[in-house]
Amino acid sequence: MLRRRPAGLKAHQRRPTLSGRVLKQRSGGGGGGTDTAAAKMPQQNRRAPPNVQALRERVEAQSKRMTRKIRLDKTKYDRLRKTKSEISKSRSKRVKKAVAEVHEMADKSAEQLASAELMLTAEPGFAKVESVKKPRPLSQAQLLPHVDLQSQQKIFELKLDKLGPYRLDFSRNGQHLLLAGQKGHIGLMHWQDKQLLIEQYLNETVRAVKFLHNETMFAVAQKKRIYVYDKQGTELHCLQDLIKPRFLDFLPYHWLLVASTLSHLQYFDSSIGSLVWKTRTGLAPTQAMRQNPWNAVMCLGHANGVVSLWTPNTGKSAASILAHRAGILSLDVDTTGTYMVTSSVDSIVRVWDVRTYKQLQQYYLREPARAVSISQRGLIAAGGGSSVTVWKDALATHAGAPYMTHRAPPDSSVVDLAFCPFEDFLGIGHITGYMSVAVPGAGEPNFDSYVANPFETGKQRREAEVHSLLEKLPASMITLDPNMIGRIANQEEDREQVREAWKERVADTASAKPETRKNLKRQARKKHLEKEAKNDPRVRLQRHEDAQSATKAKQHAKAKDEDMSLSEEEGGWYAEEDDAEAEAGEERPRRSKMASALSVFGDQKPDWL
């Protein structure tokens, strides 16, 4: 005879019975004859304690239900959190009132901002595999059937096997892609509809490319100098100061183009085209460079495993971290300026808290990651050899298995990676071309058009350009802690320095002559005379001789230097500089490579799909 479960008793609720052990309920329907019998079993002794487990479950379920209610989450916008302890100390009534006002304002502001989140209609989300005990990394082939048609079009591959390896850069609004083959191949495209805007063969080595303030201008680190091109591919400018540039970056709020060689770091103001600051790092060769978007501090990764942080105000680095025991290959900092990811020759990827310089996580790879990147929503991508690995929730917490993996062609090797802003796509530059793969949940779904607008029209772009120029921040404003700006220095030494800086500033402004016509003329004449004097053949000859003798003396001194080991090593490091350099520009292909690669894509899918 089959038994039915008594009404009101769920399967998971166990009934203590005679011996105090668990009596299993029978499942299934049927005759009710013995149903009564089961009900008559002593279910629960009255004196016996209530089932604590069941109580616990009930309490938990109830509390969960209650917390599920949607509330305004103001904590994200709470500006007082940090300063609260600082400003509530005073006893003065007036100050208290002022402080109370600030509190009120901050609260109101946070509340309004939180409630304005209602307007953000797009919701971020990640791909999730159901009914699998141990999640395995997703592949593109697995993902493809679940992706909408428009996005399917954005998963593609460009086979460019002659002029690689390819490095890339996305414009700030994620609409444009700049590809640069090391052997002098440059292409600018509107990548989402695969519209090639320009393609150039430069006939010399290209080591890095970077968009300037918008997609209309970009800088290219070529064999000897940095060149600036416009959207039509016209050469606009050549920066003479830096020789053999390796890395480029652009600070959009300061309009600074930052360039680095193995040993030097320079800042150019891209709005007026002048050199702002330059220095010799005095450290091991630079192998990676990336900005911290929060405070505009440049992070340089060196061949001895050190990451140094630079502001264009001091003679030396502001701080340095020994991040790895082996040379650093690549690094990236997230948009909030909290996390830094470094990869090294020792096949380890480490996550750091850049504010406290603490190591948070580390991940072991099979091959060293040549490139790492953090997406807007905090995914980490690391690519080395022929594989690319993406981790989710891997910054603050330790991620177990990777979220996604992808493989470059077996004969190729990944050299550059970048997440496309505001899109769920990852651009991979490798030796034989470029790949665009989907990474669900990578990009920020809700853009702020004050910062970057993916749907920008030409007029909006021009307007944003003017706004940005008017709001340009001076390079001197870059500090490790931008919160210090406008505050009162709290240490006596700092105060002294502040006073001195002000004195200098006042003296400068006092001595500055007004820009009258006469003064300008005088200045121009002075400049002209200086230039003439500089170009005087006698002076030039003298200078040449001086320079030669100086270098000789230097070399002599260096050879005699006690610390031979270091200098040898340095020499070794720098000697490698040109070994890897490819012989570029041997031949100029007749047909556009990128255009053909793009056209090929229309017909056939990549192998990995």
Q: Which of residues 462-501 bind other proteins (CB under 8 A)?
A: 476-480, 484-489, 494-501
460 binds other proteins (CB under 8 A): no
CB-based contact 166:180 (threshold 8 Å): yes
> Least distance (Å) from other proteins to the CB of residue 273?
21
> Least distance (Å) from other proteins to the CB of residue 241?
20
- Omega of the bond leading into 165 within 30 degrees of 0 (cis): yes
362 binds other proteins (CB under 8 A): yes
71 binds other proteins (CB under 8 A): no
Per CB under 8 A, which of residues 121..160 are in contact with other proteins? 134
Among 13, 43, 44, 62, indicate the residue that binds other proteins (CB under 8 A). Answer: 62
Q: Could you give the CA distance from residue 501 to residue 43 in angstroms, rounded to a whole number?
A: 83
Q: Extract the tokens encoding 10.
A: 């769920």
> Least distance (Å) from other proteins to the CB of residue 423?
23
Q: Could you give the CA distance from residue 372 to residue 374 in angstroms, rounded to a whole number?
A: 7
DSSP annotation of 138:
B
9 binds other proteins (CB under 8 A): no
> Least distance (Å) from other proteins to the CB of residue 480?
7
306 binds other proteins (CB under 8 A): yes
> Least distance (Å) from other proteins to the CB of residue 373?
21
Of 429, 367, 386, 372, which Cα lies nearest the Cα of 608?
A: 386
Among 180, 212, 323, 417, indicate the residue that binds other proteins (CB under 8 A). Answer: 323
Among 13, 43, 105, 522, indicate the residue that binds other proteins (CB under 8 A). Answer: 105
Contact flags string 21-50 toward other proteins, x per CB under 8 A: -xxx-xxx-----x-xxx-xxx--x---xx
Among 6, 32, 44, 58, indicate the residue that binds other proteins (CB under 8 A). Answer: 58
Task: Compute CA 63 distance to the chain's CA centroid, rounded to the nearest angstrom.
Answer: 39
56 binds other proteins (CB under 8 A): yes
> Least distance (Å) from other proteins to the CB of residue 565?
9
Nearer to other proteins (CB atom), residue 60 or residue 545: 60
Bridge partners (DSSP) listed for residue 256: 251, 269
Residue recorded with tokens 């001197």? 476
76 binds other proteins (CB under 8 A): no
113 binds other proteins (CB under 8 A): yes
SS3 call for 405: strand
Among 6, 13, 32, 86, indicate the residue that binds other proteins (CB under 8 A). Answer: 86
Among 271, 359, 453, 596, indicate the residue that binds other proteins (CB under 8 A). Answer: 359
557 binds other proteins (CB under 8 A): no
Of 345, 354, 294, which Cα lies nearest the Cα of 324?
A: 345
Per CB under 8 A, which of residues 379..438 are in contact with other proteins? 400
Q: Could you give the CA distance from residue 51 to residue 9 in angstroms, rounded to a whole number?
A: 14
Q: What is the CA radius of gyration of the chain?
A: 31
325 binds other proteins (CB under 8 A): yes
Task: Compute CA 551 distance to the chain's CA centroid, rounded to the nearest angstrom.
Answer: 40
> Least distance (Å) from other proteins to the CB of residue 81?
10
Query: Between the CA atoms of 434, 435, 440 and 441, what dihedral angle is there, to the nearest 10 degrees?
Result: -10
Residue length of the chain: 609
The region of 84-92, 237-245, 426-434, 531-539 touching other proteins under the rule CB under 8 A is: 84-92
CB-based contact 4:30 (threshold 8 Å): yes
Among 15, 16, 72, 80, indicate the residue that binds other proteins (CB under 8 A). Answer: 80
How many Cα atoms within 13 Å fall on the side-chain side of residue 466? Answer: 5
Among 10, 46, 52, 75, indicate the residue that binds other proteins (CB under 8 A). Answer: 52
316 binds other proteins (CB under 8 A): yes
* Inter-residue long-range contacts of 16-25, CB under 8 Å, 24+ positions, other chains counted: 16/43, 16/44, 16/45, 16/48, 16/51, 17/41, 17/42, 17/43, 18/42
